[in-house]
Chains A and B, each alone.
Chain A
Amino acid sequence: MNPSRVVTADTAVPVVASRERNRSVTRRHAIAAYGFIAPAMLVFVATLVVPLGYAAYVSLFRERLVGGTVFVGLGNYGEAVADPLFRAGVLRMALFLVIQVPIMLTIALVFALVLDSGRVRFGRFIRLGIFIPYAVPSIIAALMWGYLYGPDFGLFAQLARRVGLGTPRFLSEDWILASIANITTWEFVGYNMIILFAALRAVPSDRYEAAAVDGAGAIRTAWSVKIPAIRPALLLTVIFSVIGSFQLFNEPQVLWVLAPTAIGNGYTPNLYAFHLAFTNQQVNYSAAVSFLLGIVIVAVSYVVMLATNRSSRS
């Protein structure tokens, strides 16, 4: 700082000085702030931005077993958009999303509301019981369910035969998507319930009092007060579920062993990308497919958010 200024200038001087001081403080703060976020940014760049950039770069080429690598620009993307396997996989996951996610979130919401109502005994115990499947690794869950689904020795098949219902074909092509949906529902109801339950606990109790004064019963309160109050949490679970659906991988991968012809290589887009890279050795095409899948997920999530916002405004 320049002390002569303080002497020569009059009223403006303190302002300038303090501004100068402020600016340098701001600058120091800024440097410190950058210092604080630098480690996180470094990790972010190294583990997310760089790999993404590299994948994007790789997706512009086509490396072949013979004849070398050629630059194809957006050729891989064009091929993927027209690829019946990829399209079928995306559509299958859209179907999965439209059917499985509402069922799962409805069950989760009902559980959360019931537990929140405080009318059940052993609430904690039940909460834990519903949540436990989420603690089971999805690979283990898929293995376990795959065993239960078995047509010869699976529990359901044996029970069904005993009561004369014939053998249910849970692992056949017609049923496998429903069987997978059942596994993911079992796994994630508890997870979503916990999010919704936590949100319910955070709703201020004066609203309930107001509702009670207005003469609302428990169901009316749940519908008109509680659910609107936890709308952000609901939206969060919807977005998570959208992403989870399109990225479905573990369950079909594990069940593939049991039903190799019902679950094809392109059954889900993620499974397809995995196969392209590791079985077909089409790494470039796999990168393009992964990017397209990412775009689909972003688009669908955006549409979901837009739709929810609009309906909340209207």
Chain B
Amino acid sequence: MNSHNVREYPRRRGSGRLVVVLLTAVLAIAGCAGGSTGSTSPTSVDMAAALKQPATLTLWSWVGGLEDEIAIFEKKYPNIEVKVVNAGQGPAEYQKLRTALSAGEGAPDVVQIEYQQVPSFTITNNLLDLMPYGANDIKDKFVPSAWQQVTQGNKVFAIPQDTGPMGMLYRQDILEKHGIAVPRTWDEFADAARKLHAADPSTYLTNLPPNEGGAMTGLLWQAGSRPYRAAEGTELTLNIDDAAARKVAGYWNGLVQQQVVAADADFTDQWYQGLANGKYATWLTAAWGPLFLQGTAKGTAGKWRAAPLPQWSSDEKVSGNWGGSTSAVTTQSKHPEAAAALAMFLNSDPESTRMLATKQFLFPATKALVTDESFTSQGLPFYGGQQVNKVFAGISETVRTDFTWSPFQDYVYSAFTDTVGKAITDRRDLPSALRDWHQDVASYAQKQGFHLTS
């Protein structure tokens, strides 16, 4: 078993139904965008020369079937050989990575790391700053909310691979049956939750999973909560119970106390059944959610639709992010130039990124693909032919761009389950549980040597 605290969110798994690779388009785009590895800062390295040197790289990734993307890279840089290793998904991989990093050997050159984990590895100086290797040149290719999460000051520690802008999947048939309009604001959502559960006690408008710090963080992110600010030295600003978070906790507190939302742990049998048999009428999820749902609740095909998250005010259009990964280069790498080139190429080369989106079904982190008609215009039968990618592509642009992660996100999520999660299950007061969450993390941070400011 892996460390069970940080839940592994499901990667989009598809059956090849999505977009077919349009080879001509790919070639056309590949033609215009050259790998510009230029000199941007005085410390930049001569990449062109370094990449002619023979090198063997190891890449850790749990995304299956990367061979084709790698083949394009190896074709472009014939002297570089890449070995892909699946060292486990999420926490399983991080444990191995941490062990190898503290042992001083055995870590890969390039490694897949989720956004929320990047600062947990930079705090221990295990990731290479990619700025001198030309990361700045590809900055503008990425959606700002993704780039923001891999940047610290003027350093870039990873290259975004996929993202998880949050939206809402809902059962159109259930809402229609009870005459409920698709909620656009959280107020409407609360009314709908009460109305639906009163009309049918076996149905809940949604499920608030008590074990999913990642999903809750996405909702807090949308509301404008900024729980952690980048640490300067040993300084850390911690405000888990800031005004925005208190607003969110107070809101859900009402629904949880009235028992009009379910409180089941997600990614369990119980929860899968709930999605499949109409116990939950919506799933507040991220851009990887649609394909996951399609695979897990086959019997409900055609009944689901996608929409943006409800908003805090009707004139707003904002969202948060849940999930998604990056490629980072470890400081153990003996070939930092080649490793940096791989991390950047894999996630920014037009041909490679299109493959990631259409073969591995990763929700793209690049602007080019998010706005690409051939990607967004695909209608999914499971969603009644709705262009689901277009919905999430639209949401992707509305993800707030000022969110940063703590340097110990594993612990933050674990503490979430023990405090707020427990209160959700027991239907206890959420705002006071939010304070407990903050206190718990604060005392941990101090033990880890941080000086807290607020």
Contact = CB atoms under 8 A, between A and B. Distances in A.
B447 A281 contact: no
A65 B124 contact: yes
B410 A66 contact: no
Contact of A153 (B124, B267, B273, B444): B273
Contact of A261 (B210, B279, B408, B444): B210
A254 B408 CA distance: 24
Interface in B87-107: 91, 95, 98
A59 to B, nearest CB: 15
Nearest to B266: A260
Contacts of B211: 260-261
B447 A282 contact: yes
A262 B265 CA distance: 11
B449 A260 contact: no
A67 interface: yes
Given A257-B265, A264-B418, A278 B3 contact: yes
Contacts of B410: 279-281
Interface in B272-301: 273-274, 279
A64 interface: yes
A66 B408 CA distance: 11
Contact of B449 (A67, A253, A259): A67
Contacts of A280: 408, 410-411, 414, 444
Given A65-B450, A260-B265, A279 B3 contact: yes
B270 A258 contact: yes
B27 to A, nearest CB: 46
Given A65-B448, A150-B270, A257-B265, A275 B418 contact: no
A20 interface: no
Interface string A232-256: 0000000000000000000001101
Contacts of A278: 3, 91, 95
A261 B411 CA distance: 15
B273 A66 contact: no
Interface string B255-276: 0000000000101111001100
A151 interface: yes
Contacts of A253: 1, 4
A100 interface: no
Interface in B207-247: 210-211, 231, 233-234
B123 A66 contact: yes
B211 to A, nearest CB: 4
Contact of B426 (A139, A173, A256, A281): A173
A152 interface: yes
A64 B450 CA distance: 9
Contact of A66 (B5, B234, B268): B234
B6 interface: yes
Contacts of A64: 447-449
A134 interface: no
Contacts of B139: none
Nearest to B263: A261
Given A253-B1, A281-B408, A265 B418 contact: yes
B258 to A, nearest CB: 19
B425 interface: yes
B424 interface: yes
Contacts of B167: none
Contact of B269 (A153, A264, A275): A153
Given A253-B4, A254-B1, A278-B3, A261 B426 contact: yes
A275 B414 contact: yes
A147 interface: yes
A259 B271 CA distance: 12
Nearest to A150: B270
Given A66-B234, A66-B449, A265-B5, A150 B414 contact: no
Contact of A258 (B91, B265, B274): B265
Across the A-B interface, the 6 shortest Cβ-Cβ residue pairs: A67-B449, A64-B449, A260-B211, A261-B425, A65-B448, A261-B422
11 contacts: A66-B233, A66-B234, A151-B270, A173-B426, A257-B267, A261-B425, A264-B418, A275-B3, A278-B3, A280-B410, A281-B408
Given A265-B414, A280-B410, 16 more contacts: A65-B448, A66-B449, A68-B449, A147-B269, A152-B273, A152-B274, A173-B426, A254-B1, A256-B4, A257-B267, A275-B414, A279-B3, A279-B5, A279-B6, A279-B410, A280-B444
